[in-house]
Amino acid sequence: MTVLDGIRTVTGHIGYPPSWDCEACGEPWPCPNFQTIPPDRLTTSTLIPVMAFLLSRAIKDLRGRPEGPEPPEIVQRFVWFLPLSDDEARAIALRLR
């Protein structure tokens, strides 16, 4: 996915489908290192369209795994920078499935 290749070039931290684990850290992506990249390098206005684009694919890949996250948790993980309530995350997940 070219969007992901772009993020990889800019940040060095990327997780590809279907595992969505960070290549550099092995953590679930967006990994803690990615999330601490300062806003002057990775702005919210950049992140929102990218994460919205990736979320439905990530939900399809990750939901229903034995130890896997539930769709609302996947929403929270990919848009960690927005203050979403559990109800809002659930509503977003329902629209993306």
**Footprint of Zn ion on this chain (CB under 5 A)?**
13, 22, 24-25, 31, 33
Number of H helices, E strands in the chain: 5, 0
Cα 94-96-97 angle, rounded to 5 deg = 70
User: What one-character-per-residue DSSP string does 54-82 give?
Assistant: HHHHHHHHHTT-TTPPPHHHHHHHHTTTS
Which is nearer to Zn ion, 14 or 75 (by Cβ)?
Answer: 14
Q: How far is the CB of 76 from Zn ion (least distance, A)?
A: 18
Which is nearer to Zn ion, 33 or 56 (by Cβ)?
Answer: 33
Output the six-digit token pair for 58: 């990530």
Which is nearer to Zn ion, 37 or 91 (by Cβ)?
Answer: 37
Q: How far is the CB of 62 from Zn ion (least distance, A)?
A: 17
Q: How far is the CB of 23 from Zn ion (least distance, A)?
A: 7
